[in-house]
Amino acid sequence: MIKHFNVLICSLLFINIVACQQVAPDLTDTLFETYDRYRETSLQKRRIKHSDLQPLIRQSGENPMFDVHQVGRSIEGRALYLISLGTGDTDVFLWSQMHGDEPTATQAIFDILNFFKGQDFGKEKKEILSRLRIHFLPMLNPDGAEVYQRRNTLGIDINRDALRLQSPEGQTLKRVRDSLEADFGFNLHDQSTYYNAERTSKPATISYLAPAYNYEKDINQGRGNAMRIIVYMNKIIQKYAPGQVGRYNDDFEPRAFGDNIQKWGTSTILIESGGFPGDKEKQFIRKLNYVSILSALNAIAKEDYDDIPLSDYERIPENDRKLFDLKLENLRYPLLGNEYILDLGIHRQEIDRKGHQDFWYKSSVADQGDLSTYYGYQTLNAEGYKVVGAKVYPKTLSGLAEAEKLDMKALLRDGVAYLRLNRLPEDRDSSPLPVHLVPQDFKVPPLRLNVGGNPTFFLEKDGGLAYAVINGFLIDLTKGHSDGGNALIFR
């Protein structure tokens, strides 16, 4: 009886252990679920500046866990810092924002630093930091970040300065890479939101590349390891953005830092943050960077990537660029006495406000015709809808205050998209109303859809207006619903 009881207890314990193993979340899931504990709340929007990072870098320097050193200066004299931690023999080097308008991963770096400062994940952190020495260079192009532009003050693309090393920023990156002789390198960027995963309507939310180190695109041990880490990270992203990963073409670019750092012996992983529906400030994509990079560091520490087949890298869909912000399909378009059927693809360009802290949208027609192989973040099948021109309100108003008293929904339902003002607001870049503000001598241009033109018109069906398109943003006139854009001020 006692023997049978012991067998029963052991069996129950075994079943319980197996059950716990089956339901226990892996590190990636736990990182995702606990992200808000470590998110650096002082960084909320993409247009971060060098000055925004300085208090965070100082805090790291005051923590004995980190070694913080100034390793260079930008052309305009802004300090470049390297933040290092860990005691392991494997060096991992992560650099971000060599393009000033690509800050998503920069924010994620400070989330990752908060993770290492925190009290949780003790076992995982001990394993990572005992096996790795991790180095972060969080903003390589602070002058570009100051004005939210890709290039540095010299006007060059730092990522094409690996051979001549004309810029102090490029010289710093080369010097740091050579001093570390890092085993792994993470080259962190943002890409256009108009990239999609090949032959799908899904945005390439994250794209990867293991850069080639020669024209032949040979795969040595170092590049192979980069490919394996990318496959590992791709599987992680698929959990949270399924089908939304792309892979860059790996043609060798002899001037590029990524290609050369691969050539110099560092297994280099390019990560590009693209678009995600509704994520205007890329804060969800920032979270994906945090989760996938930390998971990759854990895999590198544990050497969990060795058995990943290289063939899985080629299975990641290639990047394509066939996304519009708004796609209108099968429009009826009257022109010179005839009617045509065409598709319209619209892009919304971000225009920085003064101070480069925020932006407004100026939209344009990116393409028109047969766009059946293209996709939209928002798509309307406009079959049966005819394009009609917008009207200007018949009365000239004194200024914005008088305009704000009008019933905007009624104006739009009447086909009005322009308000003439005697005095345009000088303190605004864009219209705070869902209609354009124009000077008193403005005349409505004749309806003509053309690539590069501003998309402002109405869609009519069965004799009534159903939709307004104002500066490339779609408004459902039956609901008064807009997808959150702005109209323009014509000066």
The pLDDT assigned to 481 comes to: 65
Average pLDDT over residues 460-482: 92
Instruction: Indicate the pLDDT class of residue 21, thresholds 50, 70 and 90.
Output: very low
**Looking at the predicted structure, is the pLDDT value of residue 288 above 90?**
yes
Mean pLDDT estimate for the chain: 94
**Looking at the predicted structure, is the pLDDT value of residue 4 above 80?**
no
Instruction: Indicate the pLDDT class of residue 484, thresholds 50, 70 and 90.
Output: confident
**Looking at the predicted structure, is the pLDDT value of residue 14 above 60?**
no
What is d(CA 280, CA 276) in angstroms, rounded to the nearest whole number? 8
Instruction: Indicate the pLDDT class of residue 479, thresholds 50, 70 and 90.
Output: confident
Instruction: Indicate the pLDDT class of residue 1, thresholds 50, 70 and 90.
Output: very low
Q: Residues 271-285: pLDDT tens digits?
A: 999 999 999 999 999
Q: Residues 66-77: pLDDT tens digits?
A: 999 999 999 999
**Looking at the predicted structure, is the pLDDT value of residue 24 above 70?**
no
The pLDDT assigned to 25 comes to: 61
The region that residue 53 occupies, defined by phi over 0 for left and psi between -120 and 50 for alpha, beta otherwise, is alpha
**Looking at the predicted structure, is the pLDDT value of residue 79 above 60?**
yes
Average pLDDT over residues 142-167: 98
The pLDDT assigned to 49 comes to: 98
Instruction: Indicate the pLDDT class of residue 286, thresholds 50, 70 and 90.
Output: very high
The pLDDT assigned to 388 comes to: 98
Instruction: Indicate the pLDDT class of residue 3, thresholds 50, 70 and 90.
Output: very low
**Looking at the predicted structure, is the pLDDT value of residue 266 above 50?**
yes
The pLDDT assigned to 482 comes to: 67
Domain ranges of the chain: 1-27, 34-320, 348-371+386-488
pTM score, two decimals? 0.93
Nearest to 180 by CA among 94, 114, 286, 244: 94
- Asked if 237 and 277 count as a contact pair (C-beta separation under 8 A), the reply is no
Q: Residues 117-130: pLDDT tens digits?
A: 999 999 999 999 99
Residue identified by tokens 């280099």 is 268
The pLDDT assigned to 65 comes to: 97
Q: CA dihedral in degrees (208, 212, 216, 218; nearest 10)?
A: -90
- Please state which of the ranges 24-28, 206-210, 256-260, 300-304 shows the lowest mean pLDDT: 24-28
What is d(CA 301, CA 128) in angstroms, rounded to the nearest whole number? 5
- Asked if 234 and 272 count as a contact pair (C-beta separation under 8 A), the reply is no
**Looking at the predicted structure, is the pLDDT value of residue 435 above 80?**
yes
Distances (CA, A) of 167 to 16, 158, 163, 170: 61, 7, 11, 5
What is d(CA 22, CA 146) in angstroms, rounded to the nearest whole number? 49
What is d(CA 223, CA 428) in angstroms, rounded to the nearest whole number? 50
Q: Residues 371-413: pLDDT tens digits?
A: 999 999 999 999 999 999 999 999 999 999 999 999 999 999 9
- Please state which of the ranges 6-10, 104-108, 201-205, 386-390 shows the lowest mean pLDDT: 6-10
Percent of the chain with pLDDT over 70: 94
What is d(CA 166, CA 169) in angstroms, rounded to the nearest whole number? 9
The region that residue 217 occupies, defined by phi over 0 for left and psi between -120 and 50 for alpha, beta otherwise, is left
**Looking at the predicted structure, is the pLDDT value of residue 2 above 80?**
no
**Looking at the predicted structure, is the pLDDT value of residue 474 above 60?**
yes
- Please state which of the ranges 14-28, 29-43, 203-217, 407-421 shows the lowest mean pLDDT: 14-28
Amino acid at residue number 203: P
Residue 432 has a CB neighbour count (10 Å cut-off) of: 13
Distances (CA, A) of 98 to 52, 104, 126, 369, 384: 17, 12, 31, 37, 48
**Looking at the predicted structure, is the pLDDT value of residue 93 above 80?**
yes
The pLDDT assigned to 274 comes to: 98
What is d(CA 294, CA 297) in angstroms, rounded to the nearest whole number? 5
* Parallel/antiparallel/unpaired status of strands 473-476 and 464-470: antiparallel
What is d(CA 18, CA 172) in angstroms, rounded to the nearest whole number? 51
Q: Residues 192-251: pLDDT tens digits?
A: 999 999 999 999 999 999 999 999 999 999 999 999 999 999 999 999 999 999 999 999
Residue identified by tokens 């032949």 is 216
Vertex 159: Cα angle to 317 and 46 (nearest 5): 75
Vertex 470: Cα angle to 428 and 459 (nearest 5): 165
How would CATH label the architecture of 34-320?
Answer: 3-Layer(aba) Sandwich (3.40)
Q: Residues 441-467: pLDDT tens digits?
A: 999 989 999 999 999 999 999 999 999
Instruction: Indicate the pLDDT class of residue 483, thresholds 50, 70 and 90.
Output: low
Average pLDDT over residues 160-184: 98
Instruction: Indicate the pLDDT class of residue 8, thresholds 50, 70 and 90.
Output: very low
